[in-house]
A = this chain, B = another copy of it.
């Protein structure tokens, strides 16, 4: 019997997160006046303990005991050798994936939802607002808030709200409140609805609404929570890669290639950053974030300063961006429908330390089907983008006759996303290609913004 799963005990769980800010150079976030934004400017939006973490230069940050005690509900997560997929592909590559689908909401998202709820609770916050795309993040934050006894309100992108009603049920089961975005509850939402009453919504719009709902709350006890993009989110997710490294170490393996899908960048950062550290220190390793061809931030957009949200509430962030007003096509991978990309992921891409890939919606779904009929697990549409890249790389390894070790983040299961599979079977899914005209039109919004410097971390 060949061993499939490499497990860690709870005692072997990492006790610190890795903070990539210690090892790379970053352009600072800028305020409306073009000057760097200090921590205080973020205080109406986030609690100060998380802001401190956001800007911390420390390489290793302790994970609080109270957070570990909740993470153990599902962590450490299994590292699984994709033996059946390898066999089906007849590849010499050894494929390992980190199964983040074992968490209660079914994805990697609670890795940061739990510490965020904890730090807010400690800071005296009683309610969190947030946005969600496909619903993974909104359900993760609802779960986390229920663990610490705080309220949670989720603005869910309209198209996913309609396509995936069970996500709302999950949030309500954990006591969260979920409404479709754009909504009439915020100025940001009303403005969008006035311009385009039939809009499918977007993460950019939903972020605006959630920030507005937090900062306009008169009690002062409400803050906003973001499920990706920001540095404290990326660092909370590094527990994934740190565990994976320990697990591979146990069986004497080290990856040649690390793969994860990338929307805002957090599941990618989670598995990749501990290996990025090795690469910065001289290790040879290929690291691929995989984005949807329909929303090709890293692969087709420029590295610029832009807002993280449509209503321009956030500071200007240095990132690859399709423009803060861009509404991505309605692909089922709702979690990847974001106009920008995490600033740290963007910096690494700008420096060539990581090399972005894309997958089309149909190639991603096809990969998901191959995976379901070999490894058995039904993957989230987002995760299928990583699977498409794994299959490509395993086939390349076969052509080259190389025994490559591939490590991937299986960021979530697709049991709440089965409507995407239904439509795929029915031949109703399509690919979306962004024309060059659409691409340049979408970028007009940041034409007059400052430009980030091309910094070199190595």
Contact = CB atoms under 8 A, between A and B. Distances in A.
A106 B421 CA distance: 17
Interface in A406-422: 415-416, 418-419, 421-422
B173 A65 contact: no
Interface string A355-387: 000000000000001001101111000000000
A54 to B, nearest CB: 26
Contacts of A3: 9-11, 72
B173 A421 contact: yes
A172 B2 CA distance: 29
A373 B4 contact: no
A143 interface: yes
A397 interface: no
A65 B1 CA distance: 7
A431 interface: no
Copies in the complex: 2
A432 interface: no
A69 interface: yes
A166 B418 contact: yes
Contacts of A2: 69
A7 interface: yes
A5 B72 contact: yes
Interface of A, helix, strand, loop or mixed by DSSP: helix
Contact of A170 (B7, B147, B375, B415): B415
A175 B373 contact: yes
A89 to B, nearest CB: 16
Interface string A192-215: 000000000000000000000000
A72 B419 CA distance: 28
Given A2-B69, A10-B3, A174 B102 contact: no
B378 A104 contact: yes
A5 B13 CA distance: 12
Given A170-B378, A173-B372, A173-B421, A72 B4 contact: yes
Contact of A102 (B102, B147, B170): B102
A167 to B, nearest CB: 9
Interface string A169-181: 1101111000000
A68 interface: yes
Interface in A130-154: 143, 146-147
B418 A378 contact: no
A373 B70 CA distance: 12
Given A7-B9, A10-B3, A376-B147, A170 B73 contact: no
A4 B419 CA distance: 34
A68 B173 CA distance: 36
A177 B5 CA distance: 31
B4 A172 contact: no
Interface in A64-94: 65, 68-70, 72-74, 83-84
Contacts of A72: 1, 3-5
Contacts of A415: 106, 166, 170, 415-416
A123 B69 CA distance: 49
A374 B315 CA distance: 37
Given A418-B170, A419-B169, A376 B69 contact: no
Given A1-B10, A3-B72, A74-B376, 8 more contacts: A5-B10, A73-B375, A73-B376, A104-B377, A172-B422, A173-B418, A174-B372, A175-B373
29 contacts: A1-B65, A1-B69, A3-B9, A3-B11, A4-B72, A5-B10, A69-B83, A70-B376, A73-B84, A73-B377, A74-B376, A104-B377, A106-B415, A143-B376, A146-B372, A147-B376, A166-B166, A166-B415, A166-B419, A169-B419, A169-B421, A170-B415, A170-B418, A172-B421, A173-B369, A173-B372, A173-B418, A174-B373, A175-B373
Question: 10 smallest A-B Cβ distances: which pairs?
Answer: A169-B418, A104-B376, A166-B418, A4-B72, A73-B376, A415-B415, A146-B373, A169-B422, A173-B372, A104-B377
